[in-house]
Structures are given as structure tokens and as C-alpha cells.
């Protein structure tokens, strides 16, 4: 049986520490505008499904303004989103047709369809009678803000009829 000396243990510990430091400080590859925005949309969709309105709103800029009638602010969007995701026992959101276009290295535009499924049902047999679907096409833009985070700065929702989903 081989014995391990104190110097071998210290040497091994230093080697692990050095390897950890190299990994920690290794330069991360910068995401493309398209990749960054796609990730943000997926994260926001998951947060909404988990009914975490605050988590969704972390990805919305303080400078946010909606395009179209009224020019809603971040606060107003929070209220609408709260109404959408907190109603019902469960919420499921399907995102489809996500398209992203780079405008500049710090801005990108997106378009996607979001289908919200909500239900008050507490039992499986009540699911079809107590379910509601609504769908929107949302067009908007993300910008990389001073803190390095990508946030939605403008968006415009368009209601989609069930016939348009097919």
C-alpha cells in the first residue's frame, strides 16, 4: 500500500486550485445577437409558465414601451401578464415560429407566436370543459443594456384567432 505524503496532497490541492482558476477565468465565447435573444425568449416563457411574473419582468427594460395604441409601459405590461398567467390552476405556454434578426451588435428584433393554455380544472375529467386558449403574435426588440443584460425594449402583441394557428 502506497502512502501519500503531505507535499503530494498540497501539490494535488494546488493543481486542482490552478485548474479551477483557469476554468473560471477562461474567456467565455460571446453569444451572437440571435442566440442571446432566443435564450431570453425561452427563459421568459419558462418563467411565465412557472407563474413567476417577477422573473419575466427582469428581462424587460425600464425603458420599455409597447408599439401601438396607448404605448404601454413596463408596469402596465406587468399587470396584463399577471392577469394572463395567474388565472387558472395551471398555465402552459407554447412558443412557435420564433424569428430573430440582428439590427446591430447590441440590438435585435424578434417575432414569435405564443399560445397560452389555462385551466381551472382540478381533475383530469374536467380539463377539456375548463380550459381556455389564447394566442398572440408578438413583434418586438431586445437591446443589450449597460449592465450587459439583454432586455425587451419594445413589443407589440397581435391577437391570433384559433384558425390562424393551423
CATH of residue 86's domain is 3.10.450.50
Q: Are 106 and 144 in contact (CB under 8 A)?
A: yes
User: Average pLDDT in the 98-115 region?
Assistant: 94
Domain of residue 112, residue span: 31-159
What is the distance between the alpha carbons of residues 141 and 3, in angstroms, rounded to a whole number? 62
Which pLDDT value is given to residue 55? 93
Q: How confident is the model at residue 27 (pLDDT cuts 50, 70, 90)?
A: low
User: Average pLDDT in the 102-120 region?
Assistant: 89
Q: Are 78 and 61 in contact (CB under 8 A)?
A: no
Q: Decide if pLDDT at 147 tops 90.
A: yes
Q: How confident is the model at residue 61 (pLDDT cuts 50, 70, 90)?
A: very high
Which comes out higher in pLDDT, residue 162 or 30? 30
Any domain includes 137: yes
Any domain includes 99: yes
The total domain count for the chain is 1
Amino acid at each position: 500500500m502506497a502512502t501519500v505524503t503531505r507535499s503530494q496532497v498540497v501539490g494535488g490541492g494546488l493543481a486542482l486550485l490552478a485548474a479551477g482558476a483557469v476554468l473560471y477565468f477562461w474567456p467565455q465565447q460571446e453569444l451572437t445577437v440571435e442566440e442571446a435573444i432566443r435564450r431570453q425568449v425561452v427563459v421568459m416563457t419558462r418563467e411565465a409558465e412557472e407563474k413567476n411574473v417577477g422573473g419575466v419582468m427582469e428581462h424587460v427594460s425600464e425603458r420599455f414601451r409597447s408599439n401601438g395604441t396607448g404605448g404601454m409601459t413596463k408596469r402596465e405590461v406587468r399587470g396584463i401578464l399577471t392577469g394572463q398567467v395567474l388565472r387558472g390552476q395551471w398555465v402552459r405556454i407554447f412558443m412557435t415560429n420564433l424569428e430573430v434578426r440582428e439590427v446591430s451588435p447590441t440590438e435585435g428584433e424578434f417575432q414569435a407566436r405564443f399560445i397560452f393554455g389555462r385551466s381551472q380544472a382540478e381533475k383530469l375529467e374536467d380539463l377539456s370543459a375548463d380550459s381556455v386558449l389564447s394566442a398572440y403574435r408578438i413583434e418586438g426588440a431586445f437591446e443589450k443594456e449597460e449592465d450587459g443584460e439583454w432586455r425587451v425594449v419594445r413589443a407589440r402583441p397581435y391577437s391570433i384567432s384559433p384558425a390562424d394557428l393551423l
